[in-house]
Amino acid sequence: MTSQPPLPGAERGCGPLSGVLVADFSRVLAGPYATMLLADLGAEVVKVEAPGGDDTRTWQPPVRAGVSTYYLGINRNKRSIALDLKDPVDAAAARELARRADVVVENFRTGGLARFGLDYATVSADNPRVVYASITGFGSGPEGAALPGYDLIVQAISGLMSLTGDPAGEPYRAGVAVFDVIAGLHAAIGVLTALNVRQETGRGQHVEVNLLSSALSGLVNQTSAAVAGGVVPFRMGNSHPSLYPYEPMPCADGELIITAGNNGQFRKLVEVLGLPELADDPRFARNEDRTEHRDELRPLLVQRLRTRTKTEWFHDIIGAGVPCGPINTVDQGVAFAADIGLDPVVTVGEGAAAVPSVRHPITFSGTPAGYRLPPPALDEHGAEIRRWLAEPGGTGTDGRPA
């Protein structure tokens, strides 16, 4: 999509986004996750870091060969250049990179890049085809821009924590920065959409994503209950407000998640449990009935489940066509994915530099994701990128200089 010479070592023709140059000024999680997904699909991503590096380089333990696994998990297929934007020479290099880029991704405080000439208005004046994605915590308006955009804070403010944990206990955060991840996904969707529009119009646009809007969208049925039903959702532990059974249930040696999401699945469940009469009991015949009478239904199911192990029940219940699953540790989850043929782990790089990584989540029949580069060391590609930026170059698929 660009007319300048390719970056040194760039593999042209590799992946559906081959030829797309991404200038990645983001750090920590949401932005780097989005740009890694784009890089997996062939985009050429230049990771611009401050001289001290992305914060996640220091987020350890755990580590692999002394490098934070947090950083390793979201930065493959990228090239790193360290630039001090307060230095005039480095700032000029950053502006030239943005001028050449098809996509710019940043998560600075709103207006924070303007003093370096790297805000959307300035970049798009020199590069009208640029798709410029900004990720903030609470939007770019004057009220939201003043608020710090951390996932944990958004989990609290959005209401997620009010839904997580024991009903009689305190609110809990999710075990992963879930809204950073969702915002990263939304940013990737926004970038791809804007690139598609650019194919028709020849012009880029400003794509804005914020964690709170991503959170409210990602809370789906819970926010719908609030805005459409006038209901304030509350903490229910592992129970579901609208479905039953849909939670962990104790077996002889531990718990098994059982989810009977409709009347047919419930009938199959009680048949395999040897309790077929429950399917016709008026208290349990419909999902609405089961949800209302869950305190009466649960002991009947648990009494039977406790007679066998969770593994024995898992195979029988799955065999009957009812969704269920064990509560695994993360390593067991990876192993389970491997056991069912999903090949969840890929190795990026070779020899001592090789890094095991989680496979790109999307499968394409014709243009698969690729794993070209391990996560870069700080400024690993700085010298070659600086030389490349010093070469004559333009932007745009039409070959005209910017």
pLDDT digits (tens, 9 = 90+) for 46-76: 999 999 999 999 999 999 999 999 999 999 9
Residue 314 or residue 402, greater confidence: 314
pLDDT above 50 for 396: no
Q: Is the domain covering 21-219+344-390 a CATH 3.30.70.100 domain?
A: no
Strand (E) or helix (H) holding 248: strand 246-250
Beta bridge partners of 348: 355
Question: What pLDDT does 7 receive?
Answer: 74
Q: What is the mean pLDDT of the chain?
A: 93
Question: What pLDDT does 87 receive?
Answer: 98
pLDDT above 60 for 77: yes
- Distance between CA 97 and CA 90 in Å, rounded? 11
The residues annotated as belonging to the active site are 180
φ and ψ at 46, to 5 degrees? -105, 115
pLDDT above 60 for 187: yes
Average pLDDT for 282-296: 96
- Distance between CA 313 and CA 324 in Å, rounded? 9
- Distance between CA 269 and CA 275 in Å, rounded? 8
Average pLDDT for 15-42: 97
Q: How far is CA 222 from CA 47, 76, 226, in A?
A: 36, 34, 7
Tokens of 385: 């990128």
What is the pTM (predicted TM-score) of this model?
A: 0.91
- Distance between CA 325 and CA 328 in Å, rounded? 9
Question: What pLDDT does 395 receive?
Answer: 52
Average pLDDT for 288-309: 97
Are 172 and 164 in contact by the 8 Å Cβ rule? The answer is: yes
pLDDT above 90 for 282: yes
Percent of the chain beyond pLDDT 70?
95
DSSP of 257-291: EEE--SHHHHHHHHHHTT-GGGGG-TTTSSHHHHH
65 backbone φψ class: left, alpha, beta (φ>0; ψ -120 to 50): left
pLDDT digits (tens, 9 = 90+) for 213-260: 999 999 999 999 999 999 999 999 999 999 999 999 999 999 999 999
- Distance between CA 62 and CA 237 in Å, rounded? 29
| Confidence category of residue 116, pLDDT binned at 50, 70, 90 | very high
pLDDT digits (tens, 9 = 90+) for 353-367: 899 999 999 999 999
pLDDT above 70 for 174: yes
Are 105 and 187 in contact by the 8 Å Cβ rule? The answer is: yes
pLDDT above 90 for 154: yes
Strand (E) or helix (H) holding 334: helix 330-339
Question: What pLDDT does 14 receive?
Answer: 76
Query: What is the domain partition of the chain in residue ranges?
Result: 21-219+344-390, 246-337
Q: Is the domain covering 246-337 a CATH 3.40.190.10 domain?
A: no
Residue 7: DSSP 8-state: P
Give the position of tokens 């403010």: 157
Residue 361: DSSP 8-state: S
